[in-house]
Structure 1
């Protein structure tokens, strides 16, 4: 079980912003308003199904955090910021991945700003970057990595216009190569690194 941003218990799922609190000790169906039912939840160490491919948890991940996929499955990675922390990997055996789940683990993690990063290449001087989430307080950094073969006449900067940001989960932002007149340089095919904090 997890706590959502409104403070209510919800089944664990692939979603940013959840805090894993434990495992439900009884089935509860709430067909009424939020909070009209109570569910008994215990923290502790519990087995979960393992993810596969690049998200499969191995012995190399012991005592590291893992992430919620659904109410039965955990993964090695955050899925580019789309998953919340489940807890700490304690053991891996035939029963699955044994995870220490406690509200304090998730709450401490929630207090740390999310970080998303990547590399992109401009096409005709511009590119849209899709992110798992973007908020009004997200800080976006871009750094030129390779100017590329395209002409960068009167290059001034890599610009991230506030008007071209889509806030939400998922979100996106636009990066433009601009000249000293703040116009997009249509010949730019530069590669750059980007970083989003929060």
Structure 2
């Protein structure tokens, strides 16, 4: 029977120190940690932990959003943990305890999972509303293209194309510009010339 810690942050520039400190206080036997989005269960350390999970083990997380980001994934994960005779405990969500057949725990898990999903949906909705407002006010630029017209490689690729004597394949190999990006840049360049 092992105490297992699972720590996850969404990106490499985020610091897992707070989670690690909270889990070290409860003296876990083994720690799994990764820096990857929680939107999917296809996470190497999560998969490894689940493969090594044994009956009687307990997985500890600081809060449920560290181990899952959707209600459906939470239920699938809980079912898998229970089928192995193991337990999942969240330090923040103290109501969650799979060690007993507790209908209240299952009910609260459903409610909390729904609340988490609602919160994410509301964040996405506010982002969309903010973008729409910024567009109306003319402040929204959108995602910057990597290979814009002032990109040195794109400029060189168009120069080579206009000079002639080279195929598109040769140009994209010389400049390391992907063919689709080159064609898009070339189209924009021609449109700019027409509009001048």
* TM-score bucket of the superposed structures, by smaller chain: under 0.3
Max Rg structure: 2
Normalized per residue, which structure has more helix? 2
TM-score in terms of structure 1 length: 0.23
Normalized per residue, which structure has more strand? 1
Which structure would you say has the larger RCO, counting Cα contacts within 8 Å and 6 or more residues apart? 1
